[in-house]
Amino acid sequence: MRDPLPKLHAIELKFHSLTFEFYEEYPDFSKDFILEFIQKTGEYSKELNLSLKAYAKIDYFTNKNAKIAMKALIKFAYDLLSLLASIIRNFESDFQPKDEIDSQFRILDDFIDRKQNLISTSYRQAATQELIAFYDNNLRSSLESQLQKRLENKKSREL
């Protein structure tokens, strides 16, 4: 299957190869390795933001499956970005907990290896539920009426 976000996918593959480099250098890693990791994380974040613009252009009602698939990929990408940021925080800390960084790189490697399985199961299911809830007019009306009641109750208590 062709990845709908090829630039993000290419950077993910680079992170996958960086995990191998990490273990070649472990427990000591060079400043160049850390700088490359930080740079790739920045590129990933930028591509993710560009992907959000493409996602916003997909109409749910005319292309529901594409919207769900893209949302699932974006949810995966945000979780990956969170893990990458956590690794960077550990690199930048004065006290580098090498065991924690090692553990995070193992998680990173596994996370990227399992990408397709995670997206097709848990991320797709979560994306589907979120989009159904977001676009369901009955649910939206119900939430709006509940919010209106709460605001009215709050106003009356303040008076």
Is there a domain that residue 1 lies in? no
Is there a domain that residue 72 lies in? yes
What CA–CA distance (Å, rounded) separates 64 from 6?
21
Mean pLDDT of the chain: 89
Cis peptide bond upstream of 4, omega within 30? no
pLDDT at residue 39 in the model: 96
Is there a domain that residue 93 lies in? yes
Angle at 93 between CA 92 and CA 97, to 5 degrees: 110
Q: Please tell me the pTM assigned to this model.
A: 0.81
Q: Which residue range(s) make up the domain with 89?
A: 6-158
What is the pLDDT confidence band of residue 94, given thresholds at 50, 70 and 90? low
pLDDT at residue 142 in the model: 85
3-state secondary structure of 136: coil
The 10s digit of each residue's pLDDT in 12-52 is 999 988 888 888 877 777 889 889 999 999 999 999 999 99
- Say how many domains are in the chain: 1
Q: What's 114's DSSP letter?
A: T
